[in-house]
Amino acid sequence: MQFRWTGAAHPLHGRAMLMPLALLAWLLPAHALAATVARIDVAGDRIVIRFDEAVERAASFILDGPRRIAVDVNGANPGSVATAAGPVAAVRQAARKGGTRIVFDLAEPAIVSEGELGEDGRELTLKLREVDARRFARASLTGPLSFIPGLGSRAPRYKVTQAVPPARRARLPEIRGDADRPLVVIDAGHGGADPGAIGPEGLREKEVTLRIAKAIRDELLKGGRVRVALTRDDDRFLVLRERYGIARRLKADLFISVHCDAAGAAIATGASAYTLSEVASDKEAARLAARENKADVIAGVDLGEAAGDVSSILIDLAQRETMNLSAGFARLLGREARPLIPVKANFHRMASLMVLKAPDMPSVLFETGYISNPADAAFLASDDGRERVAQSVRRAVEVHFARRMAAR
């Protein structure tokens, strides 16, 4: 491993980073690097990193002991050195396989509260927030914030300004239904400080998903074939891993996370279902994953997965069977939903979605329609629309478990 540190080098820091760097280098494919770091500006509560050419993606994370903010940039060589300012005491860069790591040594504890990689992939802006030592230590235990070119500007409505409450072990929700039935956990996406996507009429995804989740629960209970629990039945914030964590602690047989899609173009319409994959099935799926995974990191954050880049989730081999079951359910859901609700032509998609990461529980993320599309939004907000969504899920769930039973 060769390291080329530029700027004010601290040999000790360099050595402390050898292991994670070596590991990252091993995991990442080799790229021909097109871009170079052209300029780094540190001023007040903001870091702006400019590149002479577009970069593919970037991620920032927090390291403690000593306190640093590290930024990994895929597709760029180390370049121009910066002068330190504000909470940043020194700036260093090192080449790593596939890109550059830029390290900001901190004089004061500060975390990245939000950021954006510009549409053209040539400017990464990170907003800093000074925090206390305890909050910084917590932030250092979480996964990175990922930036993909243009994502921020493509989803301008998706913004959270409130602080996120600290992580805690969620209390287990009530299970309804007959004791010997399989358990379905319905997860209403977003909640609390995280409103999710916001529709043209100010309709908030977190409210729509909660109402749909309750409609699905009632419909499933009416059928009497399964037990049902909701990860949340009020307006509360849950970390993504808490959501599937609740389902796993309840030993759920199926996990369905309910969301509404959003797109810059109002014409995008129809429901779709996502299952877990390391690689997104298409560009839109990748964007969706980045947006939905952001729920954890959105407010700056000391929450979420302790390790692993949320933009490329590594999947265990043991997970393959679960993934096949999830895909089977997604296809069923598409079949049952098509006559009842507007659906996309390619209903089943794949993406690296954090909330689907339970290794042993079939999990699907159901995008019930576009909150950014006036017709879809009105449909999802109506009693009839919710009822039809709930019926689609009920039919698919009943066929799914009937098949599982028959296979035994």
Applying CB under 5 A, which residues contact Zn ion? 189, 196, 259, 292
CB burial readout 369-387, b (16+ within 10 A) else e: bbbbbeebbebbbeeebbb
Choose between 98 and 191: whose C-beta lies nearer to Zn ion. 191
What secondary structure letter does DSSP report for 148? -
Residue nearest Zn ion (C-beta atom): 259
Q: Least distance to Zn ion from the beta carbon of 135, Å?
A: 26
Q: What single DSSP character describes residue 407?
A: H
Q: Please, which residue, 96 or 344, has the CB nearer to Zn ion?
A: 344
* Residue 66 preceded by cis peptide, ω within 30: yes
CA 333 vs CA 95, 226, 398, 399: distances in Å? 46, 16, 10, 10
Among positive and negative, which fits the CA dihedral 301, 305, 306, 307? negative
Residue number with CB closer to Zn ion (78 or 369) = 369
Least CB distance to Zn ion at residue 353 (A) = 10
Between 96 and 259, name the residue whose CB sits nearer to Zn ion: 259
CA distance 219 to 214: 9
Q: How far is the CB of 152 from Zn ion (least distance, A)?
A: 16
Please report how close the Cβ of residue 41 comes to Zn ion at its closest, in angstroms.
Answer: 33
Q: Report how far apart, in Å, the C-alpha atoms of 259 and of each of 272, 312, 364 are.
A: 10, 21, 11
CA angle 174, 176, 182 (to 5 degrees): 110
What's the token pair of residue 286? 């990748």
Closer residue to Zn ion, CB minimum distance, 196 or 369? 196
Nearer to Zn ion, 109 or 189 (CB): 189
Query: Which residues make beta-bridge pairs with 184?
Result: 228, 254
Nearer to Zn ion among residue 92 and residue 259 (C-beta): 259
Contacts of 185 (CB under 8 A, 6+ apart): 228, 229, 230, 231, 246, 247, 250, 252, 254, 255, 256
Minimum CB separation of residue 262 from Zn ion in Å reads 8
| CB 373, min distance to Zn ion, A | 15
Report, in Å, the least distance between residue 299 CB and Zn ion: 15
Smallest gap from Cβ 205 to Zn ion, in A, equals 5
Smallest gap from Cβ 318 to Zn ion, in A, equals 27
Alpha-carbon gap, residue 86 to 299, rounded angstroms: 21
- Alpha-carbon dihedral angle through residues 125, 127, 128, 134, given to the nearest 10 degrees: -110
Closest approach, Cβ 372 to Zn ion, in A, equals 12
Cβ of 86: how many Cβ atoms within 10 Å?
A: 18
Which CA distances in Å does 22 have to 5, 15, 25, 86? 15, 11, 5, 31
- In this structure, the strands spanning 145-147 and 57-63 are antiparallel
Q: Which is nearer to Zn ion, 123 or 367 (CB)?
A: 367
| Minimum CB distance to Zn ion smaller for 69 or for 280 | 280
Q: How far apart are CA 266 and CA 372, in angstroms?
A: 6
By beta-carbon proximity to Zn ion, the closer residue of 183 and 260 is: 260
Pick 35 or 197: Cβ nearer Zn ion: 197
Q: CA-CA distance, 19 to 16, in Å (whole number)?
A: 7
* Minimum CB distance to Zn ion, residue 367 (Å): 8
